[in-house]
Amino acid sequence: MQICGITAEYNPFHTGHAYHIAQTRRLLGEDTAIVCAMSGNFVQRGDFAVLGKYARAEMAVRCGADLVIELPLAAALCSAEGFARGAVALLHALGCDTLSFGAEHPDVSLLQRAAQALDALPLTGAAAPLSYAAQRQAELRCLDPAAAALLDHPNNTLAVEYCRAALPYGMRPLAVARQGAAHDAAAPGAGFASASLLRQHLRAGDDSFCRPFLPPEAQAVWQRAAAAGQAPVSLPDGVLLALARTALMQGRLSSGTADGFDERLQNAVYQAVSFADAVARARTRRFPAARVRRALLRAVLGIPAGEAVQPQYIRILAIGPRGRAVLRRAGAHTALPLIVKPVTEKRLPDAVQPALRRDAFADDLFALALPDTAQRAGGIHYRQAPFYLPQG
């Protein structure tokens, strides 16, 4: 059985994601099993997901994925490079032989060329006033202008990082041309809408705007969650500022860099009147808002600077009929523990317990942002279980 991995956030799952899964299966064969490594309740832009991880994973399995596993928290709240490395390591551990991703320019040979050129660059700090990513692109432009031009587009940037991360594992890269609205586009395009635009309308209660851009199965999951008081989820501004101030007081508000970012971040948290205000005070052209939000959330969640993004275990979020076969095959060869039900975590080795406790805290923090206040009690992590899609 061929197993293809996809990395995603599905925040929320929309028609563009369904198109990507369908195209991947068309290109590789209908019998291909598709495994998605998905961010949990916190996403790479440094935000709370609009809907809980188990519901988003259910959307994916109902819309064509065979298995959804959770991206390690340290990787989910990381730059594109760490995000890709953590995801690819996770998918490889589960036996994926191919890696599928979307790109504005789906020329795999050029994407791999850019990946190899980036690997050849010396590791240098960003020179003001450029961000680290912009500085690396400027350096790459001197070596390979065509490869550097790819990085003008966000999905190309991630695609290049996926190629870099897949190389040591020998995984075959498969690029699918991105369709419709661009990343973070403020308007729909060609029947597709960006996830950021959909989140904006969902959080405003404008479900009718989103209906054409969500597959019917995903719409049903969203409506059920909203009716149950579990969506939409928004970042709890006051709680996060209080936790960020606690991290500052305890000396945990550090990104581990020597570029002036930590001092700026600490001053912003001390002076801010809200979490959003802290982000606005700390951000600059050199320190983008997403980097600021990630750094603050990592401090709040207790993720040390420089923590490895490689997985210590594989958490299952949703399973389809073909996903069961993937898990049986993985159980025979992977060295990582498979977590199906969180209630079994206490039986796992002591070495992984700190990360497991942090996952539980992260889920409790996410619960504090649920619309229904009655569901904000602690322990939500242990009351959840994967979604199973019945056969047939």
Q: What confidence score (pLDDT) does residue 258 get?
A: 75
Contact 40, 73 (CB under 8 A): yes
Residues 6+ away with beta carbon under 8 Å from 14: 192, 193, 195, 198, 213, 214, 215, 218
Instruction: Give just the sign of the alpha carbon dihedral 269, 274, 276, 277.
Output: negative
Cβ(353)–Cβ(119) below 8 Å:
no
Res 180: pLDDT: 67
The per-residue pLDDT for 360 is 98
Tokens 């450029």 correspond to: 130
pLDDT on residue 119 = 83
Q: Provide the percentage of residues in the chain whose pLDDT is more than 90.
A: 79
Amino acid at 243: L
pLDDT digits (tens, 9 = 90+) for 224-283: 999 999 999 999 999 999 999 999 999 999 887 878 899 999 999 999 999 999 999 999
Residue 323: which of 15, 96, 16 has the closest Cα? 96
The whole-number pLDDT of residue 129 equals 65
Structural contact between residues 155 and 102, judged by C-beta atoms closer than 8 angstroms: yes
Q: Is the pLDDT of residue 125 over 60?
A: no
Nearest to 114, CA basis, from 88, 77, 152 = 152
**Contact (CB, 8 A) for 262 and 254:** yes
Instruction: Report pLDDT digits (tens) over 44-93.
Output: 999 999 999 999 999 999 999 999 999 999 999 999 999 999 999 999 99
The stretch 188-209 carries a mean pLDDT of 91
Neighbouring-strand partners of residue 103: 177
pLDDT tier at 127, thresholds 50, 70, 90:
low
Other C-beta atoms closer than 10 Å to the C-beta of 364 total 16
The terminus-to-terminus CA distance of the chain in angstroms comes to 19
How much of the chain exceeds pLDDT 70, in percent? 95
DSSP letter for 69, please: E
Mean pLDDT, range 30-48, rounded to an integer? 97
- What six digits make up the tokens of 73? 């928290």
Q: How far apart are CA 287 and CA 284, in angstroms?
A: 5
What residue has token string 């432009």?
A: 141
Which distant-in-sequence residues (6+ apart) come within 8 Å of 278 by Cβ? 241, 244, 268, 269, 272, 292, 296
Is the link from the previous residue into 12 a cis peptide, with omega within 30 of 0?
yes
Confidence of residue 204 (pLDDT cuts 50, 70, 90): very high
3 state SS of 168? helix
- What is the distance between the alpha carbons of residues 23 and 21, in angstroms, rounded to a whole number? 6
Taking CA atoms, 225 is separated from 104, 154, 211, 219, 364, in Å, by: 33, 30, 15, 10, 17
